[in-house]
Amino acid sequence: MVSKAICYHLPVYLYYLYVVTYDFVNIEHGRGGYGGKLKFLTVWNEIFQMLYFGIATLNDFCGSDIRPSHARDVQGRKSVLQKLRDIALASVIFPAGTHTFILPLMFVELTLVYHQFPRKRTGLAILFTFALAYLCWILWIAYVADFWVYPVLKVMHVHQRVIFIGALLVFFAFLYLIGEFLNQILWGKEIKAYVNEVKKKEK
pLDDT digits (tens, 9 = 90+) for 26-67: 998 888 889 999 999 999 999 999 999 999 999 999 999 888
User: What is the Cα–Cα distance from 73 to 67, expressed in whole angstroms?
Assistant: 10
| Any domain includes 104 | yes
| Any domain includes 1 | no
| Any domain includes 107 | yes
| Domain, as residue range, for 35 | 6-202
* Overall domain count for the chain: 1
pTM above 0.85, yes or no: yes
Quote the pLDDT of residue 202: 64
What pLDDT digit, counting tens, does each position of 90-121 carry? 999 999 887 666 788 999 999 999 999 999 99
| Any domain includes 192 | yes
Indicate the DSSP class of residue 37: G
| Any domain includes 90 | yes
User: What is the Cα–Cα distance from 143 to 124, expressed in whole angstroms?
Assistant: 28
| Mean pLDDT calculated for residue range 13-29 | 94
What pLDDT digit, counting tens, does each position of 57-91 carry? 999 999 998 888 775 555 558 899 999 999 999 99
| Any domain includes 108 | yes
101 and 169 Cβ atoms separated by less than 8 Å? no
| Any domain includes 118 | yes
